[in-house]
Structure 1
Amino acid sequence: MIQSTWFFLTIRYQVIANWEIKSEVLNVLRFPLQGSVRMQMTGLISEIAMTNSAPDDVEVSHCVARIRDLRMNIRGGVAAEVIQWFRASLTSAMRRKLEEQYCAVMEKAWIQWVEAQISQFSPNLTLSTSPEVILSQSLESIHFSKMNVDLRMRSDLIWNGELVEGEMILNQSEYDEVAQSPSNRMITVLIEEETVQSALAATHYSGHFVATVDSPFLHTYCDILCIGTVLPEIADAMPNSSFTVQASTLNPPMITLQKGNTLVFVNASLDVISKSTSQPFNGTIISINVETELELKIDIQDDMVRCTSSMLNAQAKLTNSKIGLMSQKTIDLLVDMSTPFLEDAVDLLISRGVPITKLFQFPSTNEILTIEERFIKLEADIDFPTVLQHTVAQL
């Protein structure tokens, strides 16, 4: 059973009320038995300890409340003057009663509110809008630390409404070290490298890492520069033709998250596909395998999460050709030309940008995205005015 202690400090409360004494004996005296009371409370300090009664349940195990200063001013004629004689005793009794009632309310209402917020907190992350790619989060367990309430989530990838099955990943990362690092934001979302890797593998095996690139360069006829002028052997074999390039992963991409940096190793196939319907030059006419290492830059710009890529190195080889034997020069040129097409394919998949409003499933502000060692770290504040406005509208 893990315990977390929360401290609250209230600056000042002021209460104004009416009082009345009901007594047949005192009524004979014929002086006012009613009046008003003004009570001011300053500095309510409370300590609430919560424990995990179950992996996904919490309860209050301890509550202490202390009112630093409680002052009472009673008005109402002779009766009020008499009551003033007992003001110290009344104030002390009122203080104890308020402290007891505060803890009673917190045990009943506060814990229900906390459980409601936890159950409603579903930090699904929209990674892409076209196609719609969502990293869906579901609560597995609650862990308390001295400063935080940690929600351990299960991550599932949903691609255009379809669940992409991935392997369960055992948490072996240095979570505590990153989680306990100072933050001036209300919420910190940490996505483990293993979770990202599992999502990449699931996406690959589901056949979603495919991109088709069209370019004016992919013609064998042009006035200035195109594939036909650069590679005359292709122009001779297929005059007046145009092509598309399809890039797809051969293996799951491997990702490495370093502090401030993201590296991705990709083994991909580039297929040059003829748009011609005539035999024998229809379909894939040239296939190239490319092994490349990419550096990704992920940040928040103009309320959009954006990702850009740059290729660090690449090795490629020709694996299939329908247009017959080609010279080594032609093969080398094809290998050199494969790099920008692969970069274009990567940009098609990752550089669209995701609006901040779609990144989190709750109103947020002051968002920060950083890359830590083996973690993607998202920090944000909850936009409480928007939350309250939405809550009131539902009432």
Structure 2
Amino acid sequence: MALSDRLELVNPSEIRKLFDLAAGMEDVISLGIGEPDFDTPEHIKEYAKEALDRGMTHYGPNAGLPMLREAIARKLRKQNGIEADPKSEIMVLVGANQAFIMGLATFLKDGEEVLIPSPMFVSYAPAVILAGGKPVEVPTYEENEFRLSVDDLEKHVSEKTRALIINSPNNPTGAVLTKKDLEEIADFAVEHDLIVFSDEVYEHFVYDGARNHSIASLDGMFERTITINGFSKTFAMTGWRLGFVAAPAWIIEKMTRFQMYNATCPVTFAQYAAAKALEDERSWKAVEEMRKEYDRRRKLVWKRLNEMGLPTVKPKGAFYIFPRIRDTGLTDHEFSELMLKEAKVAVVPGSAFGKAGEGYIRISYATAYEKLEEAMDRMEKVLKERDLV
């Protein structure tokens, strides 16, 4: 099947469609897009200016600047317990999103299956389809805080299964896998000889004592894991489009070949700024300040949603919350449309994140505390007026 045929099988993001609709309305509070409302820390912007002044405006290596790959290697060793050779096992990308289709393209054959816990980030299934594979949704459940279990995986694995995507902390549910969860998943991956994609872009935004654990740090797992991360969420650098992966050398070599004929290389001066940022204590102080503020917002939204009659699991990570709205008698699409039209609050239907998301909505609390308070007031008012709770 040609790539043009596969493109016909994937739909535009529901999040983007909602964002475009809300953008055309006045006085809308958008809780839809998962983007930090913080600006990139000033010292990181200064590093980019410094790079420009130094003439770093030319092509760089396809796999990324050595100085950034080396800084990433040190970060992975210190924070994640992952040993990766910066020369052959680390690659810089134009945003972390590239990692899925590029990584899948290194090994996936036509018709092979990829297990994806659902609810799931909107890019996963399309990436599998575009790479020629078949996405297989593995439901996760509110009763288990939307954490993936091996029991769920065993029900969906087959002889055609080639890979598994995990995302912790999770978008859209905020679930965080425990070390025990990951150890069991690792055993499952070894038993079925699977490649694991571990999406850890929200690793620093965890709460209530939760910790991010990297599956690639477990014994024997680096050789079958593609660890995906980036700078968009960590340092509020969404528009800079910088991500990175750590993976076995044979995967990195093929992904580099893909990038060679796609983006050529990531932006050179942005890479310089990211390398400097990783090793500047001010960056990590900024991350902790953001984490504390997200935590404050999380507590507010979780409390208000439950008080207004929308049962909600308290998320342990990321900056999303996933309330159950099916008890209102509305579908998640109907609920989202009602909130947009009558409350002027933009939320995302849970079904945009897979079948297991039906009956839920996703709210991003990456917006100002005062706006979140106003949004909760508006939503509660409409629910009461409509007698939906």
Specify the TM-score bucket, using the shorter chain as the normaliser.
under 0.3
Could you say which structure has the higher helix fraction? 2
Choose between structure 1 and 2 for higher RCO, CA contacts under 8 A separated by at least 6 residues: 2
Q: Taking structure 1 as the reference length, what is the TM-score of the superposition? A: 0.21
